[in-house]
Chain A
């Protein structure tokens, strides 16, 4: 796991430097979060205990893990656990590795905001330090918050839910049939014949 933190030093003193434009661009990461790299996942069936994170910082892993648990209380629903069985965070880590530098920095900024955004009702605690109930309430509050809070939360939700449900081990609980052509033995038709003049 990398110890680097790419957050610009100017931001560590508070949230004031966050321009609306930066947050608009951060929201635009959502598209990437939906897909880029989610699709470049290798070893997505690895045992989570064997996983190492090469792109997310320790702080970011804590934020994403806390967020994933708040959004996906899988074990209480008879589904494979979103952290210990399905490598959701590793999938996110690989996705982050495929981001271009600007997108990566914006995501880092977003995760930093999620962790440190002061909210009086949460006594200025860091998100990753909240208990389960408070973490859930925090995510709900952000989802219903200002424009950029909604956008950021939607982005992170897409990030973790896709990286959980993309694993075929989660499909049987939904009765989702997944890829079927080879299982059904459907014949390929090939190229269409040249049109007759």
Chain B
């Protein structure tokens, strides 16, 4: 094992990334102590925590390197440059849009900065049902504290609660429901409302401006445009990876082989299981790719009698946690803004004149994002050479979806809304509170009924103590392949209801410590 003790200065801006344009054609061989697959929440944190202890770390990122100075604040362009499948990743039925970052920094670059710790009752459930007693609330607390300090995670100040979020707060308070300001990983938010297109001024404390430059200051190397195609194994031990460097025009530039005794898999809960499947590794349990959950979300928009301007101010201000626990419904409601273009995607106000009226009145709209504690009923797999996201909302979860819709409508009406738009494929508008139940009764749990978006894929390389029921051991290592660790949201054995970035950061920190203790 090599040891790197030099610590370089963190550059003021940007990263020294090797990109496809820097690589000559042919085959290249490299060596590292640790190869990290993916530069998002799980990969960047692991890279830093391992590099700062002197290990030679190589990070391979499939997506491009886009410096924040090049972010456009144009959501359409951002989808193409920064998101998986140009923002077009869907389930097989096409009624669930699955948004994941695909760039250096991964989804942390394009998320809404919302920072929740894993709820205590979820960690306790993992201990009880999956043998993860090492992840108790008490055991995880120092890891949460560490990442919260590193990423400037604080409660939203009052000026960060925009008009659209204040409406939701007012409505929830009138109903006597618990509502709180979000914690966010941001420094001195500029209130542009363009979080989903990346933060142009580096205020969002994404991996792009935190753990990645820190890892590189400790000697880590980062290659973008480099998609790992296979994890290499010898005698039950990971020994490296094979990868392809793909130019921005889609053509292959070079093949790479990396020899490393430790492989950290952090490509995200869709790509990580696919890579395991393609590598033919680590699946003695038959669980690789199974147990997919994603917090299927809806955007429940409403019209108010006064201007709201949902694109003005911080994107996400407050959340309603009244129904967080499963016995109270198992869902969270998040007050969220959005831009004019996004508004065309999330509701069905009608065709022609009613659609035009809906858009003309865009500045009168506010919205609530619903997140539910969905069961792990989905699967990620290769089929006919293509990625398949096999997920439909379970009948067990549909009542939670309806309850979240109803509560959202109640908040809107309590706050003074005059119309609530049901996020369905057909036109469904609720005009007064007394109509809520009757309108929602028209919804069925069938494909192409609801307009669903997921930002939180998880669960596809489940962590647990029983090798027959899980893929990864409680300390993060594959049950089957020594030296292969997972540090992304694939680990989560159940959905966690809330936004998972802090959970991933904390788990990656913890697992890095476990890796170091085993070297």
Contacts and interface: CB of A to CB of B under 8 A. Distances in A.
Most buried by B among A27, A73, A140, A148: A27
Given A39-B76, A190-B202, A194-B217, A34 B97 contact: yes
B355 A71 contact: yes
Contacts of B205: 192
A4 B88 CA distance: 26
Going nearest first, the 6 A-B pairs with the smallest beta carbon separation are A39-B80, A35-B87, A31-B90, A27-B94, A179-B73, A28-B94
Interface of B: 7, 10-14, 68-69, 72-74, 76-81, 83, 85-95, 97, 149-150, 152, 187-188, 190, 192, 194, 200-203, 205, 209-210, 213-214, 217, 307, 309, 311-312, 339-341, 344-345, 348, 350-353, 355-357, 359-360, 362-363, 425-427, 446-448, 451
A186 B190 contact: yes
Contacts of A187: 201
A162 B341 contact: yes
A189 B188 contact: yes
B10 A176 contact: no
9 contacts: A28-B92, A34-B97, A39-B77, A77-B360, A181-B200, A184-B192, A188-B13, A191-B11, A195-B149
Interface of A: 24-41, 70-74, 76-77, 79, 98, 136, 139-140, 143-144, 147-148, 150-151, 154-155, 157-158, 161-162, 165-166, 171, 173-181, 184, 186-195
A18 B352 CA distance: 29
B366 to A, nearest CB: 15
Given A31-B88, A162-B76, A188 B200 contact: yes
Contacts of B339: 176
A32 B85 CA distance: 8
Contact of A24 (B80, B92, B97, B360): B92
B85 A36 contact: yes
Contacts of B77: 39
Contacts of B309: 175
Contact of A38 (B76, B307, B362, B447): B76
Contacts of A35: 76, 79-80, 83, 86-88
B94 A151 contact: yes
A161 B355 contact: yes
A195 B93 contact: no
B202 A181 contact: no
A173 B356 CA distance: 11
Contacts of B356: 72-74, 76-77, 79
B144 to A, nearest CB: 15
A28 B386 CA distance: 13
A40 B214 CA distance: 33
Contacts of A180: 73, 192, 194
A194 to B, nearest CB: 5
A193 B76 contact: no
B345 A162 contact: yes
A1 to B, nearest CB: 25
A141 B446 CA distance: 19
A158 B88 CA distance: 12
A21 B363 CA distance: 40
Given A40-B80, A151-B448, A181-B73, A31 B202 contact: no
A63 to B, nearest CB: 15
A171 B210 CA distance: 34
